[in-house]
Chains A and B, each alone.
Chain A
Amino acid sequence: MNAILEMRSITKTFPGVKALRDVNLVVKQGEIHAICGENGAGKSTLMKVLSGVYPFGSYEGEIVYEGETRRFDRIADSEHVGIIIIHQELALVPLLSIAENIFLGNEPAKFGVINWSQAYNRAKALLKKVGLKEPPTALITNLGIGKQQLVEIAKALAKQVKLLILDEPTASLNEADSDALLKLLVEFRNQGITSILISHKLNELAKVADSITVLRDGTTVETIDCHSEKISEGRIIKSMVGREMSDRYPQRQPKIGETLFEIKKWRVEHPIHAGREVIKSVDLHVNRGEIVGIAGLMGAGRTELAMSVFGRAYGRNVRGEAFMDGAAIDISSIQKAVAVGVAYVTEDRKTLGLVLNEDIKNNVTLANLPAVAWRGVIDDAREQQVANRYRTSLKIRSSGIFQRALNLSGGNQQKVVLSKWLFAQPKVLILDEPTRGIDVGAKYEIYTIINELADAGKGVIMISSEMPELLGICDRIYVMNEGRFVDEMPAAGATQEKIMASIMREYGTVQ
């Protein structure tokens, strides 16, 4: 097999940061080539160089594609030769239909007049190829994130893709959706389409990849050929972080106290469709020093529940009672929720979590400005101290606390959002997919922080689509499905199978 792509000693510098130095990448024709590395290692940057997001001239080095040296001045240039990138953050237009999105900028048209019947027919064929059972007229907003991901892939196929780049495509997918997507990649491989896959889910990589290139601190560590040696997660981790990692979850002796926070008969209606209950009478409690998990499939209503608890940030006609330390509390607005000590770390860091234009410092202190201010006047020195403290303790990789959030790598953005709520010093912390897009090493650090919070007597509620993670760090797990808690179990003794079984029992189809 010869190489379809060779990137030779690529160096890319941002003001104050050398994101890539002398990186080499060789991708063979028709393989699935995985790229992994810690947050901020330069994975996304490398792919942006390849796809012309960073145009020729803004980096050093050489790109050889299909045997020719190429210079891409814009994304259209790389798309023209069949390199299609699907970015870490999806780029679909929410209020347009599937078909409109698939052909956006690439419409089947004559003299600027779109041939809609052709568009719909081709869209149908493409959707079938990616295994998405939705009409091409469905609006993107009405699709779950897994289906949106498939639309992105269909969009890539519409452009005659030869080299498909996926930047953390499965980060926000549950296991079933991830598997479907990986199967699709394998199918593409059989059809001769080459893929580059970036992921922090190492088990996936071990499953499908033909070769794995590992980046660390902007340099290539090695490229592992998966056919010449047996690949385990441990092998990849060692290459990524430069040493063995014996435990994936930190040890902890839970010291569980009294009930700290409780909601009873919590009901929430859909914000637009009045009367349609999204959350149907949920009872939940968390004790001091306890980490409670909420498991469930995509669309089970976990985020909706969390956000409705957090000052009715979601839904209408929120009904039910809430208690802190046994006393009824008012959490009817976000300010009130924050005031009584409830915090919510969103899963959607870009649209709900960060002010992208502002620096790390301003984002970290935003939810608790009074703590660094005196009579409304911000104490700059104290604020910088706080920001530096979180930057160090969460290892936020950046050129300093004045780096804008926009320029951080995805995983480091997540750490900034987490810092913001840690600094707000809540009693009850609701974490919604806190480790999405975070590398193994940093995950361990975040688990450690969660444990420390629990040990300090706080209550932690954790939503996660990664069941091993819930099993690994929670004390108790609620299982949620279709707006209800369908089961509750101590984490000791729980298994993925048991959780799945309680979800499926709801459908009457135990697997």
Chain B
Amino acid sequence: MKHEATPLPGSEEAEARAAVWSSSLRDYGLLFSLLVIMGFFYFLTNGVSIAPLNLTNLILQNSYVVIMALGMLLIIVSGNIDLSVGSIVGFVGGVAATMMVGFHMPILDVDVKTSWEVAVLVSLVLGALIGCMQGYFVAYARIPAFIVTLGGMLIFRGLTGNLLLGQFVGPFPREFQDISAGFLPELTNIPALHALIGDSHFRYGTMAIGILAVAIMILSGLRRWQRARAEAMDVEPFALFAGRTAIFSALVLFFSYQLAQWKGLPEVLIIMLVLILIYAFVTTRMTVGRRIYALGGNRLAAQLSGIRTERLIFLTFVNMGVLAGLAGLIVAARLNSATPSAGLSFELDVIAACFIGGASASGGVGKVMGVVIGAFVMGVMNNGMSIYGLGIYWQQVVKGIVLLAAVFIDIYQKNKG
């Protein structure tokens, strides 16, 4: 018996294109919202919100939210949650501070004081160990993540208080502070270039890096778009692609220009960008990433496809622990001291960033770029409202409303589409 191929039931070209348009627009709606919010605060603060100094501050303040949101995304995508990250930030910062400032070790009866490098290393390992512990309970002991990390939240907040005895511990060596307060060395420090440019306050190096990044972004984007069109049928329309790239490029160029007028590229921005690239790659291109999404989408089906779901969940928590540890270091470096309340309620900003960014609370859905934008939405609002002088309590009200609105729109569109 032969069976000739039957054509698709009425796949009308125009309809297919409309579908791609609407699904792409959903993705870019978020970027658009960010621009709107930025514009809003621009007017509200008479332009202060995008002044060079403030943009630099915005990045510094927001970096740890972005960094932790990357880890939180994986956890949420796998169908879990981590409430303990704020407490881990405080605890790891406290341990690092105590090590650098020096403490008395009672058992051996010696005074211990370590270099900042050792403190950083120990902190990251500590973050990983905390992640292992919580990951074990969630993945292998099968205790719901909400409960495990609620416990973790209390435990590590309490440990931080005990460790610091209610005091500020600091200050730290210059090199450590530079994690948060350092900027990339400027080109004008190189004698040859200095001769060329002269004594300019403008950071040409920063601007050059910005332009380079935009160039790479446009070229690789174009190549990917063309390849997609050559291979598959579902590509976003060129107009959308061009529009999105243009907006992104303009944003990056504008940011670089503003930063160049101040102190240049913050080191922490580099850390953040590298991490964003890594996580974007892992989630979209690597087998581990794919498996985490499958696990969150249908755990049983993933298991029966030979995926080690327990190990994956465990790893997402270890990963989160390390990133929270890193965030703890950044926060401590920024404040130049560790305090018992460092990182308090950070978990809320981080989780909100993920959901604003389009992650689904039931798992299986969420994108790195969305979450990064979501984190910046939170950051821009925090920052803009502070400048405007809105009271802290009203700030919370506004953030809550924005979170609800963002998720509402997202779900509304999905149901409609």
Contacts and interface: CB of A to CB of B under 8 A. Distances in A.
Interface string A419-447: 01000100000000000000001001100
Contact of A366 (B10, B305, B308): B305
A335 B306 contact: yes
Contact of A354 (B16, B19, B231, B298): B298
Contact of A355 (B23, B227, B298): B298
B364 interface: yes
A21 B306 CA distance: 41
B200 interface: no
Interface stretch (B123-131, B212-220, B252-260, B281-289): B281-289
Contact of A377 (B3, B6, B15, B285): B285
A311 B15 CA distance: 45
Contact of B301 (A21, A335, A351, A377): A351
Given A15-B22, A346-B304, A378-B285, A397 B297 contact: no
A221 interface: no
A356 B297 contact: yes
Interface residues of A, number: 59
Contacts of A351: 298, 300-301
B294 A15 contact: no
Interface in B269-321: 285-288, 290-291, 293-294, 297-298, 300-308
A15 B20 CA distance: 8
B287 A355 contact: no
B417 interface: yes
Contacts of B364: 355, 357-358
A378 B232 contact: no
A334 B306 contact: yes
A247 B3 CA distance: 13
B231 A381 contact: yes
B175 interface: no
Contacts of A246: 1
Interface in B1-51: 1, 3, 5-12, 15-16, 18-19, 22-23
A362 interface: yes
A18 B22 contact: no
B365 interface: yes
B117 interface: no
Contacts of B290: 362, 366, 369, 378
A399 interface: yes
B304 A18 contact: no
B224 to A, nearest CB: 9
Contact of B286 (A217, A352, A376, A398): A376
A218 B11 CA distance: 11
Contacts of A401: 232
Interface in A367-395: 367, 369-370, 373, 376-378, 380-381, 384, 392, 395
Contacts of B227: 381
Interface in B341-391: 364-365
Contacts of B23: 15
Contacts of B231: 381, 384
B233 interface: yes
Given A218-B10, A378-B287, A16 B298 contact: no
A384 B304 contact: no
Interface in B108-159: none
B303 A15 contact: no
Contacts of A116: none
B19 A15 contact: yes
A129 B288 CA distance: 53
User: Which residue, of B9, B308, B417, has the highest number of chain A Cβ atoms within 10 A?
Assistant: B9
Contacts of A335: 306, 308
B178 to A, nearest CB: 33
Contacts of B7: 217
A42 B8 CA distance: 12
Nearest to A348: B300
6 contacts: A217-B7, A241-B3, A250-B1, A353-B304, A355-B294, A444-B1
The 6 A-B residue pairs with the shortest CB-CB distance in the complex, in nearest-first order: A18-B10, A15-B19, A355-B297, A338-B306, A367-B305, A16-B16
Interface of A: 13, 15-19, 21, 40-42, 217-218, 241, 245-247, 250, 310-311, 313, 334-335, 337-338, 344, 346, 351-358, 362, 366-367, 369-370, 373, 376-378, 380-381, 384, 392, 395, 397-402, 420, 424, 441, 444-445
Given A337-B306, A357-B297, A369-B287, 13 more contacts: A15-B22, A17-B11, A217-B6, A346-B304, A351-B300, A354-B298, A355-B364, A357-B298, A357-B365, A376-B287, A397-B6, A400-B234, A424-B306
